[in-house]
Structure formats: structure tokens, C-alpha cells
Amino acid sequence: MSRSTRRQFLQMFGAASAAGLGVRPTFAQANGRIVIVGAGFGGATTARYLRQVAPGLEVTLIEPLSEIVTCPFSNDVIAGGTEIGAITHGLGPLTAAGVTLVQDRAAAIDPDARLVRLAGGADVPYDRLVLSPGIDFKPGAIEGYDDDVAQLMPHAWKAGPQTLLLRDQLRAMPDGGVVVMTIPANSFRCPPGPYERASLIAHYLKTEKPRSKIILLDGKDNFSKQPLFEEAWAALYPGLIEWIPFAQGGSLLRVDAASRTVETEFHTQSGDVVNVIPPQRAAAIAYDTGLTGEGDWCTVNQSTFESTIAPNIHILGDAAIAGAMPKSGFSAGSQGKFLAYALAALQAGDEPPAPALINTCYSLVAPDYGISVADVFRIGPEGTLAAVQGAGGVSPREASAEVHKREAAYARGWYASITSEIWG
């Protein structure tokens, strides 16, 4: 199509002429200082898209780590399917895209003065602040569990050294060993994540240590994609995975690191490897600033992700309550793209677009067996993000091996795409 005919085509197609050309001219007129805390899926996506959409905005990204190790595919690393290098991403491309990178920790926020104080002591002023700080573990939620104990009973729920620790403990475990995993009640990062991890560990045990088993002590009675996981477990790992729900006393009360034992209301269970996934809340920078109110997570206006507590602070990703959207890297990235356009509009004095966001969570239950849940989210009558009725949903049950294989391939394809768009 030639240039002039393409223009003609777009002019003729009324429905697309205003919307289809995309970036509104006003977005490019946006100016001001946007400061972003956290270079994970939410923050780095926002930074990258802001540079594309609104080149007039100054974009500063505060992140203490020089490399991001993703939680997605960290379960594959734990089970020996992938090396950690494949899920580790540098931040150089963000700098190359015009983002000012500050390698320091955001220690405090002064919402009135619109300043972020860095651990190093300097203040970073902002017109609008974007917080995508992720999660922290709720202190004191499990008796006996703290950072030191996490070196013996890894959580591996923030990817990096913890991922390798859990992998290495599994490798060192003798055949016939027992792996114990504890899973918190809702809400927590990556709802299907514990069950994907259990699946891939089961695959590793079946392959390498077939007399071993894995016991899941769960703080709830049902979980994400449960029928699909259970169908796969029955087919692939019969008798290998034991799931003990809340109703049967699955909720963790305390741990004893010395004996590698966990205790629930009805069970005392020791393991050769104990993976404790603790209860979570919004990361300290958000929690300590008071942005979670009385709860664990940040409340936001879900049409703009602006805090309901402090104006000019937008919170996305795992730390925020985004209606029915699950806490996932995909959700955070989808929110980050939308937020870049919304911030560009707001800084240009324009009306932000309405959110139409997506989450797709692929889980691997074996290296060549994937399952998924996908939804589109819009603002519903309650003013919160709700899944569009009649759309979305999970993979079909009793699908063919071919479908499972395609979904596993798409899980890897999604990972390649999202990570290269953000950090590539």
C-alpha cells in the first residue's frame, strides 16, 4: 500500500481515523518529571512506553539491582529445565531508550513535597510518581520464619539467589526424600505459581528421584486453574503430589528450622526440602508510606492507578489492588503500558483513555505441557477492573497432547516477547 493510499484508506475508514493512528498529538506535548520506583514488569514497562509515547516527559527509574531476575520461568530453573541466565535481564536497554536510571533504593516518599528520598541520601523530585515495588513478606505471619530461616527453608518467591538455593537443595536431596511446600491464603504474587512449581518439581522427581514425593500444605481450599492442574497431576504424577487444603488443616502456623519441620493446626510435617511461600503484602516503600491504608495492598483509582490515599502517586503491579486482575508479571506489564498512555494524557492536560487490560498466565505442568488462563479487564459498574463476561477463561479440559504442547511453546514465546519488549 503506498503512503498516499494508506492515508486515504484511513481517512475513509471513519471508525479508525481518530483512533487508529494511535498516539494522540497531545501525548507528545506532555511534559514534566515522572519518577518510577522498581524496574520489574510494571515499572520498566511504564518507563519504556513513556519514552515512546511522550518524549517530552523526563523519565527517571529508581532500582537498586543492576539485573532483574524474573519470577516467571524461575520454577523451570528450580526444576533444572532452564539456567538462571535465561531469566536474568540487564537494564542497559532502558538507559539507551532515554530513561534516567538511578541505581539506588527508594527509602522514603514525601507525598506533600513530591520527593523520593534515596537510601544514599539524595532527594528525587517528581510531578507524578509511579510505584511498582512488588511484594514483601508479612513480618511475623509465620512463627519462626525470618530472613535467616529463609536460608534453610527457601521461599524462592523473589527470584534470584533464593531460586538457586531451592534448586540446589532439590539436587542434593536423596531419592526417597520428601519435599514440603507451604502456600499462603489469597492474595499473593502469581496465584498459579505454587502449583506450577509443584508440577515442575514433580517432573524433576519423577525423572531423577522417583521414590520421592511432594506435599503441599495450603492456606486455602481451591486455587487457580485447579481442575487443569489436577487433571495433569493425575495423568503425569499419580501419587507423587499430595495436596492438603485449608479445610484439612493445610494452613501453616509455625516452622522449626533446625528440624526442617512445619506445623499447621492438624499436621506436623518434616521435609528433606522445605519451601515456605510466606503471606505477602505490598513492598515496604508503599506500606511504610501508608499507601495500603488499613490493608496489605495499595488501593488505587482503577481507571488511572492513582493512589486513593496520596495524589500524584500511581501504583501498579503486585503491590496494587487492581480489581479482578491477578498479581502477575503479565498484569503488571499490561497496566504499565496503559499507565504510560494515561500519564502522557494527564501531563498534557488531556483525558486518559479507558483501560482495556489483559492478563494471560501460562503454567507449565511439564516441559511440554502448558495450560493457561486469559482474561480482558475493563472498569465495571463498581468502578473496579472486572473480567469481561463472555470472554476469557482457561484452557479446555481433556485437551490433546498437541494443544498442551502448543501452550507450552506459547508460554516460552510469551516470555521471549515480554522480556525483550521490556528489557531487550
Binding site for other proteins (CB under 8 A): 1-2, 5-6, 8-10, 12-24, 49, 53, 330, 333-334, 337-338, 341, 353-354, 356-358, 360, 372, 374-376, 378, 388, 390-393, 395, 403, 406-407, 409-410, 412-418, 420-421, 424
Q: Please identify, using beta-carbon distances, which residue of 217 and 364 lies nearer to other proteins.
A: 364
Asked if 32 and 129 count as a contact pair (C-beta separation under 8 A), the reply is: no
Nearer to other proteins, 206 or 412 (CB): 412
Residue 62 in 3-state DSSP? Answer: strand
Please report how close the Cβ of residue 331 comes to other proteins at its closest, in angstroms.
10
Q: 56 or 424, CB closer to other proteins?
A: 424
Nearest approach, Cβ of 22 to other proteins (angstroms)? Answer: 3
Q: CB of 228: closest distance to other proteins in angstroms?
A: 13
Q: Determine the Cα–Cα distance for residues 59 and 45; give it in Å rounded to an integer.
A: 12
Task: Between 61 and 165, name the residue whose CB sits nearer to other proteins.
Answer: 61
Which of residues 156 and 371 has its CB atom nearest to other proteins in the complex?
Answer: 371
Under DSSP, the state recorded for 138 is P
Helix (H, G, I), strand (E, B) or coil at 384: coil
How many whole angstroms separate alpha carbon 162 and alpha carbon 170? 12
Radius of gyration of the chain (CA): 22
| Nearest to other proteins of 251, 335 (CB atom) | 335
Q: Which is nearer to other proteins, 229 or 341 (CB)?
A: 341
Closer to other proteins at the Cβ: 22 or 238? Answer: 22
Q: How far is the CB of 23 from other proteins (least distance, A)?
A: 5
In DSSP notation, 260-317 reads TEEEESS-EEE-SEEEE---EEE-HHHHHTTTTTTSSSEEEETTTTEESSSTTEEE-G
Q: Which is nearer to other proteins, 122 or 388 (CB)?
A: 388
Q: Closest Cα to residue 255, out of 129, 402, 148?
A: 148
Contact 133, 39 (CB under 8 A): no
With cell 514483601, the residue in question is 136
- Chain centroid to Cα 2, Å, comes to 42
Q: Are 213 and 305 in contact (CB under 8 A)?
A: no
Minimum distance, C-beta of residue 187 to other proteins, in the bound complex (Å): 22
CB of 414 to other proteins, least distance (A): 5
Least separation in angstroms between residue 9's CB and other proteins is 6
Q: Compute the distance between CA of residue 397 and CA of residue 25 in angstroms, rounded to an integer.
A: 47
Q: Do residues 272 and 177 lie in contact, with contact meaning Cβ atoms separated by under 8 Å? A: yes
Q: How far is the CB of 141 from other proteins (least distance, A)?
A: 33
- Which is nearest to 241 in space by CA: 308, 178, 296? 178
Could you tell me the smallest distance in angstroms from the CB atom of residue 322 to other proteins? Answer: 15
Vertex 299 angle, CA 294 and 305, to 5°: 160
For 331-371, the three-class secondary structure string (H helix, E strand, C coil) is HHHHHHHHHHHHHHHHHCCCCCCCCEEEEEEEEEEECCEEE
Crossing angle of helices 401-423 and 41-53, rounded to 10°: 60
Closer residue to other proteins, CB minimum distance, 18 or 258: 18
Minimal distance, residue 99 CB to other proteins, in Å: 15
Residue 371 φ/ψ region, left for φ over 0, alpha for ψ in the -120 to 50 degree band, beta for the rest = beta
Q: What is the amino acid identity at position 342?
A: A
Total residues found in the chain within this entry: 424
CB of 294 vs other proteins, minimal distance in Å: 33
The residues with which 374 forms a beta bridge, in sequence order, are: 360, 393
Q: Which is nearer to other proteins, 246 or 410 (CB)?
A: 410
